[in-house]
Amino acid sequence: MQKNAHLDPDFEHLTYGDENQKGAQIKKLVEDDFIAFYASLKLPKSHMNGLLYAIIGLYVVEKVVTASDVSREDWGKNAHTRRLCDETDCIVFAKRGLSGRLERCIPIGEWRNRAYRVRRNLLDIWGELSTHDGYIQCSARIPSIGNPLEFYEWFNRQGIPLLQMNN
């Protein structure tokens, strides 16, 4: 039996989807807004802290549509349209050349106050997150950045190439 993986974000096709209920924030995005993707990466046992929280990709939004509005030729470009899904799921299409998976990740987290959080020095640049004290551990709500322009400028200064390909 052949099944499609739920690959989301899909860095090859520069798409990201979310369920309608969780995607309420996604629906509000407009062209040139951005989404920064981060992940917790497991470190070797020799490290005291077992996880590395890091930015792994960035999308500059081209458009946001509901799954029912995705054209048939684009169905294969996102996990939410590759299979039967709720037609109200939100799909983000990102701009080529400005979006993709990072060639290498950017560490952003630290263990502080009994949870993984964005490092204080980064919060000073980016502005506070919508989550308490930079909390990024398994957020049920997608955190938003207090000063998106400062974040984007900081991100670009890192000089890490964006790849339009999955791992």
112-117, long-range: CB < 8 A, 24+ apart:
116/40, 116/51, 116/53
**Which of 20-29, 71-80, 131-140 is the most confident on average?**
71-80
63-71, long-range: CB < 8 A, 24+ apart:
63/31, 63/92, 63/93, 64/26, 64/27, 64/29, 64/30, 64/90, 64/91, 64/92, 64/93, 65/90, 65/91, 65/93, 66/20, 66/90, 66/91, 67/17, 67/91
36 φ, ψ to 5°?
Answer: -100, 125
Residue 19 has a pLDDT of 82
Residue 39 has a pLDDT of 93
Of 15-19, 22-26, 61-65, 97-101, least confident by mean pLDDT is 22-26
Residue 69's pLDDT band (cuts 50, 70, 90): very high
List alpha helices for 5-147, DSSP H: 24-27, 79-82, 120-126
Q: Across residues 55-69, what is the average pLDDT?
A: 95
* pLDDT at 84 exceeding the cut of 70: no
* Per-residue model confidence as pLDDT tens digits over 134-165: 998 876 677 899 999 999 999 999 999 999 99
pTM assigned to the model: 0.90
Q: Across residues 33-43, what is the average pLDDT?
A: 92
